Amino acid sequence: MLRTAVLLLGAFLLAACGAPSAPVATATHVAQAPTMPAPPTATPTTTPTLTRPATSTTTPTPPASAWTTYTTSEGLAEDSVYAAAVALDGTVWFGMEHAGASRFDGKAWTTYTTAEGLAGGSVHTIAVAPDGAVWFGTSGGVSRFDGHAWTTYMEADGLASNWVNAVAVAPDGAVWFGTYSGVSRFDGKTWTTYTKAGGLAYLEDMDITPDDAVWVGVEGGAYHFDGKVWTTYTAAAGSATNGVVAIAVAPDGAVWFGAWSFEDGAGASRFDGEVWTSYTIADGLASDFVRVVAVAPDGAVWFGTDGGGVSRYLPPR
């Protein structure tokens, strides 16, 4: 599903920034000089698997259509959640502002920090690869977890910047990383970086619909691209706010948006192609400051909020 997004992103970057830097032959020799000083760790590192026991709790099965909130009281590492992703086995991963990452399998919570192998304590983005590996974009580089071992990549390995805001996995397995200093692509062996010299637009989030349409969230609203025409959606059109920081496409094709601003929160919105529906704390959302949205295969929608923990919403069928 990400082929269109990758092609679109590549075309945009080529137009805005020019040709990419020459591919790097190895992970530790980069043709393009990093924009920030290289950290002490210059090569990928592998650390042991988690040894401490998981934080467990038994939670009741929610009704067919309901909101359920999880906070530190239930086992979440922190109530400020910046990232979320649903793994191939149905477990859900959450990235925290300061406390690493939490994994929830429906019953037990497990927390991972830099002590277990995360590159940085602040996890900004999470993506799941086709092989089941989970990628984490952090404040200290990128980490890959295969369920057993952690591998970390930093600027010295070829990453554009250690501060990573976005991660996307292409159908061919290549992983794309969005940073403040540019965008990097890693195919498992070679790094290619597109610089910020041409002036990259700052994108908050992006997702692809089943029909390969592209949705992009920016500070000014949301944009939809059907392959030919771009359409802009703002608060005037029905979305919760102009500040769209999270986008996720549900199995039924509906698009969910998370809204957040420094002034106030606007909750979340759902767009089915014709009608907008907004959700706030009055409906059951943990907080109106929504930082991330992820949709599970069963249609359940997970919202990571700033200070309110995580909300799970199962729409009526």
All domains of the chain in start order, with CATH: 205-317 (2.120.10.30)
Pair 155, 39: CB distance under 8 Å: yes
Pair 221, 242: CB distance under 8 Å: yes
DSSP strand pairing (230-233 vs 221-225):
antiparallel
Q: What is the pLDDT of residue 23?
A: 44
For residue 14, pLDDT over 70 is answered with: no
Instruction: Tell me how crowded residue 65 is: count the other CB atoms within 10 A of its CB.
Output: 10
Most confident of the following: 58-72, 169-183, 265-279: 265-279
The pTM (predicted TM-score) of the whole model is 0.71
Average pLDDT, the chain: 75
- Quick: pLDDT tens for 93-138: 999 999 999 999 999 999 999 999 999 999 999 999 888 999 999 9
How many whole angstroms separate alpha carbon 128 and alpha carbon 146?
A: 10
Nearest 10 degrees: Cα torsion 54, 57, 251, 284: -130
